[in-house]
Structure 1
Amino acid sequence: MLKDVVFKITKERSYAYERSKYEHTNAPVLIFPDFELPFNLYIDASCSQGLGAALHHRQIVYGEPREGVICYISRKLKYSEVRYGATQTECPCLVLALEKLHYYLEGAVFEVYTGCTGLKSLLNMKTTNRHMLRWEIVIQEYRGKMTIIYKEVKGHTNADGLSRCPLDNVKRNPAYYPEVEAKIPINFMEIERNKNLRISEWAPESSTPDSGNTDSEGKETPILGISSSELHNEFFNEVMKTYAKHKQCGILLQLLQQKYRSPELESQLEEPWLRDYKENEFFLIDELLYHR
């Protein structure tokens, strides 16, 4: 296909397209997995379009090595993912493949082929943003078993084609991933509508698996569905007030929000805050301060 040239769907081309689809979704192109052998996972993300992955296997067929396909997955980008850059979009693509193909990859040795040169370096960063931190949690269990390899786009057309023409992100798609809902169930927050927000401490040890929504005294505790958009400002105002009361928290927030280290601010930190900060024990997610 050439740029600025009209592509006509002829009878021969239509037949070739249908024949290609059939051959790529049936034997001998599709093969059964052999869990004694390593897997090859090809991933690709197309900005503003979708994510695609193909799981391959190299087996000995009639005495000769041959790489076959086990399965393909793809889905369109969610609304929140459309704004990601090229490198950042490749990370959820890898996470998607690991989550949806875990029954093949858990405990197995495999190589990940990507057309993004920055994926490997991003995953090894000590200081990550909130998106990368969430994705790294998923990837952690595969460290030591997974090797990420860069492959040029010309030799990466299997996953590239999947990401450029992905399946809709709907429930019938095996790669379906729902958008974050506006209402989330919470059983450790008490909301008072008189302009006050009180956060009660959650004590999981006081409940048992069979106790349902009752506390240790048998009293019912509310399980609420709240709108995060309605309480967002009120909640963060209360959190920021708490941070403002503690000098060390305020200094940590300034340090973590800066792109470069600030010796002047670091000198104001006391122990053990300074030690844990230098060891990257503190991090921010959605403007909230966490300690590893």
Structure 2
Amino acid sequence: SFLGLAGYYRRFIEEFSKLALPLTQLTCKGKAFVWDVHCENSFSELKKRLTTAPVLILPKSDELFVVYCDASKLGLGGVLMQDGKVVAYASRQLRIYEKNYPTHDLELAAVVFVLKIWRHYLYGSRFEVFSDHKSLKYLFDQKELNMRQRRWLELLKDYDFGLNYHPGKANVVADALSRKTLHMSALMVREFELLEQFRDLSLVCEWSPQSVKLGMLKIDSEFLKSIKEAQKVDVKFVDLLVASNQTEDSDFKVDDHGVLRFRGRICIPDDAEMKKMILEESHRSSLSIHPGATKMYHNLKKIFWWSGLKRDVAQFVYSCLVCQKSKIEHQKPAGNDAIWVIVDRLTKSAHFLPINISFPVAQLAEIYIKEIVRLHGVPSSIVSDRDPRFTSRFWKSLQEALGSKLRLSSAYHPQTDGQSERTIQSLEDLLRVCVLEQGGTWDSHLPLIEFTYNNSYHSSIGMTPFEALYGRRCRTPLCWFE
């Protein structure tokens, strides 16, 4: 059949499933065979596509594959690309039960569909997937999934890819593959029908001698006038007003209303009440609803200018009680759940490094080189507990290559490394105080806790660890005059 022949070349024809839809519907069981203008257009367009050379490239295994996919209530579509050029198209109509899927599941079904179609291209290599459904970007972070989504998620985990959001307006190719297009022939048929209806109405145009008068109400901003008057009495702006009329290259210009502007932005005089009114309107009004400091600053700097605008905005937002009560920290935690304590046996100086308990030994070695070897050189010997990573072959080989002797403490006997155990007790006390008094995440306090510990007097050495290490006292805010 013609559909069978055309379907054999479907991966070379863009939006094949939509083009063949009128012909496919004729093959449905119990449907009358009616050859209309849509079927004729579909038949002609498919013949044209089959006799036209497609603009496709051969895939290269060493280049990144990019997949664009989209779903609609009519079908699923996708495009496989490399370096901005098309490798293959894929599309299919929705099955009966799929038409009841919610939008999220339909978009996910499009991703699963293209991965199955192009498995021989994508399996075992890194690639990027783009969809115009933004919630798919957070699919792997969702905790509540239905059974269908869980089943598809198991399939997706077989591939190494990034799931990205691509706005629908930019996702033109995949969007076209999943949506039905309206042909000009259909528009022309509808146009002729409307013309016939208008002929039957026998409409007559009449002109009325009465004219219509339009009134115009002009509203001037009193706020702009008050800024203009305040600029005239501000000593700094008076000089700028005079200079702007004398030089054309100046960044300060006077507009048609007589208001001084800096690179197109209105210059606000050094008037505390005027600045407060602007900040109040841009933060607490019904059209603003308490934006953050960054958003508020970028909104204001497009319109107004004064010296210290960013500082004033930050202070205003941070002093807003409503923001302090209602807004929470949205930043994702760093994921640290342990502290790596490293103490110098001679000077008693310590380093407190935040880590995750699941870090592999290779990552610990990288931190060790960056934080310890970089600052102090290679130690002659190391005493550590019997953590599996410190007893691993990799860690032993690393210390052997660096020339450090590795000594392990006795099992179930922490007194072997009593110095480190005592340091951990002090660390726990300092950390508890910081979290109770200042709040925030515990790992953000570690740098200051390390500073405090290394600048505290130790009776065993008769000085602070900083003095023992560097031979001088550390400058602090208490001794800034020395």
Q: State the TM-score bracket (shorter-chain normalisation).
A: 0.3 to 0.5
Larger radius of gyration: 2
Larger helix proportion of the pair: 2
With normalisation by structure 1, the TM-score equals 0.44
Q: Which has the higher contact order (CA 8 A, sep 6+)?
A: 1
More strand by share: 1
Structure 2 length as normaliser, TM-score? 0.27
